[in-house]
Amino acid sequence: MSFNCRFAPSPTGPLHIGGVRTALFNWLLAKKNKGKFFLRIEDTDKERSKDEFKKQIISSLAWLGIEHDGEEYIQSKNIKKHITIAEELLKKGFAYKCYCSEQEINEQKEKCKKQGIPYVYNRKWREAKELNVPKDVQPVIRFKSKISGNTIIKDLVQGERNISNSTIEDFIILRKDKSPTYQLSATVDDHEMKISHVIRGDDHMINSFKQKQIYDAMGWKVPEFAHIPLIHSEQGKKLSKRDNASTLEDYIKIGILSDALRNYLLRLGWSHKDKEIFTKQESIDLFDLNGVGKSPSKLDLSRIYSINETYIKTIDEKELFNYLKDYASKYKKPLNQVKEKAISKSLSFLKNKAKTLEDIWKNSQYILNDKVEINADDRKLLNDDAKKIIKDFIANYEKTDNLSKETLEPIIKSLIENHKTNFKGVGQPLRIALVGTRFGPGIYDVIKSLDKLIVLERLKKII
């Protein structure tokens, strides 16, 4: 049997971090089982679906390294088929026309609310003859949901889930404008696409019970279901668009690496023994639905930073540099060739105290900007003694070619001796003058990372 998964977002907004994880889990499982991973754009809500979001979703997945098999499937293109199935269900007696107006339904809901009882559609038209239909109401088609008995779904993550059929109302499958609703479209498409495993957020659990009834009515094979727990905000609620840093774009913007985010999302709600860092291949090999927990997990930004830091420090420096370059041109300022060279040469220490690409960018400012700005506190440290040291340093430095730690070290040492100070006494004023802050990289690194003329210019400005 073929193993087919899908990710089916609706293009009504930028891709949400929870959606990204759903996509990742689907992709992982498909890859692991040598199956297919499809992308289906569920754009049947004409009002809210936007083409730009569709594009954004596709590029977001591409950024994460999750590529789908084949063309993306556009749900709206299959509407005719959905309608055909609705008619078939109608013909077979699994569905019926409901002539209740929206107003009528709303009134019922109001009434229930007032009485404090839960609203369920009263199934008014379920068995009604169509003889006395109101002429002025366009009917909707409702699925004739089972009234008695129970339905059990053996969920691959949640285990056996049992629900009393009476709690499922006669849901609408075709609107009054003859357009299909989600329950119908998703089911028909999953069937047509031969989806074998439906992996989605736990908020879809009820939908699976509804959709199972459609599968059964049509005599279609019901796919396996796996409902993964939702990601919660730090407030412990389902992540919504209002929460900070909830879209993929937000993470890219602060300089999170794709591999790091993939790794973080993988470990959120899933684990494999004590292992924390997974390469892409490892995640494919090791991932399984058994390892997925049942309870929702909270988003932890500090953990994302930490994993990102790990990746920044361990990946190949050329690769890191390329990420930085892309990041700079997309979110900051493109690097010119001269600066590119300077940064790539110094990346080994610029990355050292960075958790994100943005941090590296910030650490690189003293190289990228022509002038350094020294804040007031640091300025105070540049007293007369410090200036004398800088002056002495300039004299020696000007004479030195071939700048390296080996040639610079004797200079610094002699300054320490002559000025009866320690390394800090020499390093700090130089660092402040060259970087603009006393919290900078090692002084040898700083000097080597800057053009000789710039070093002299910055130092002379101080004395």
Site for RNA in 281-310 (CB under 7 A): 291, 293-298, 300, 302-303, 305-306
CB atoms within 10 A of CB 69: 15
Give the one residue of 30, 86, 217, 268 binding RNA; rule: CB under 7 A. Answer: 268
Say how far residue 4 (Cα) sits from the centre of its chain: 23
Size of the site for RNA (CB under 7 A): 82
**For RNA, the closer CB: 340 or 448:** 448
* Alpha carbon distance 435, 363 (integer Å): 9
* Stretch 226-255 residues interacting with RNA (CB under 7 A): 230, 232, 236-238
Counting Cβ atoms within 10 Å, is residue 29 exposed (0-12), middle (13-18) or buried (19+)? buried
- DSSP string covering 264-331: HHHHSSB--TT-----HHHHHHH--GGGB-SS-EE--HHHHHHHHHHHHHHS-HHHHHHHHHHHHHHH
Q: Which region among 43-51, 214-222, 241-249, 250-258 touches RNA (by CB under 7 A)?
A: 43-51
The site string for RNA over 61-90 (x = CB under 7 A, - otherwise) reads --------------x---------------
Q: In terms of CB distance, is 35 or 139 closer to RNA? A: 139
**Distance between CA atoms of 372 and 365, rounded to whole angstroms?**
8
Binding mask 426-455 for RNA (x = CB under 7 A): -xx--x------xxxxxxx-----------
> Residue 24: which of 34, 37, 10 has the closest Cα?
37
- Residues 137-156, one symbol each (x = binds RNA by CB under 7 A, - = not), give ---x----------------
Among 32, 81, 97, 353, interactor with RNA by CB under 7 A: 353
Taking the complex as a whole, how short is the minimal distance between the CB of residue 234 and RNA, in angstroms?
A: 8
With binding defined as CB under 7 A, does residue 18 bind RNA?
A: no
User: What does the block give as tokens for 462?
Assistant: 């101080």
Nearest distance, CB of residue 336 and RNA, angstroms: 26
Contact 345, 449 (CB under 8 A): yes
DSSP string over 231-250: EE-TTSSB--TTSTT-BHHH
Amino acid sitting at position 138: Q
Which part of the chain contacts RNA (CB under 7 A), choosing from 50-58, 164-172, 246-254, 334-342? 164-172
Q: Which stretch binds RNA (CB under 7 A): 87-95, 197-205, 326-334, 373-381?
A: 197-205
